[in-house]
Homo-oligomer: A and B are copies of this chain.
């Protein structure tokens, strides 16, 4: 696996460096993480590594199709391994991020292809909505409101 990265780089006249390995390792360990978080993780092993290098390396790894980035809505994008494919669900109330199998989107992808002639990339953008926890909280709140109004 590392061998393949090394040789892929080599084919392009690029080198394998400790920084590049560390960034890739960090992406793998962290699951989905922002450049900032990845930088912090890398700096545990090599404190001198600059965030600039992290950005540059992430761009490179993305070009090499080893990682991908996903926009979770606001703020920084998160990076994850390309191999680990899933759909992101972001709660825009509490900010929680969960993952769902991409198969959920298959039918939508088919329909978009047929009707809109659009080839969906399932992983690039997160789906936004309300998570289970926040929905329960909402339910409770509206019940309490209902009781209060009933009393009034």
Interface residues of A in 92-149 (CB under 8 A from B): 92, 98, 100, 104-105, 107-108, 111-112, 115-121, 124-132, 135
CB under 8 Å from chain B, chain A span 64-82: 71, 73-74
B residues near A38, Cβ cutoff 8 Å: none
> B residues within 8 A CB of A73?
71, 124-125
Instruction: Give the contact-size bracket for chain A.
Output: 20 to 34
Given contacts A105-B108, A108-B105, A108-B108, are A130 and B119 in contact (CB under 8 A)? yes
Number of copies: 2
Assess whether A112 is in contact with B124, with CB atoms less than 8 Å apart. no
A89 within 8 Å of B (CB atoms): yes
A135 and B132 CA atoms in complex are apart in Å by: 37
A/B interface sample: 24 pairs, CB < 8 A = A71-B125, A73-B124, A89-B112, A89-B116, A91-B118, A92-B121, A98-B116, A100-B112, A100-B116, A104-B108, A104-B115, A104-B116, A105-B108, A117-B131, A117-B132, A117-B135, A118-B129, A119-B129, A119-B130, A119-B135, A120-B127, A120-B129, A124-B128, A125-B127
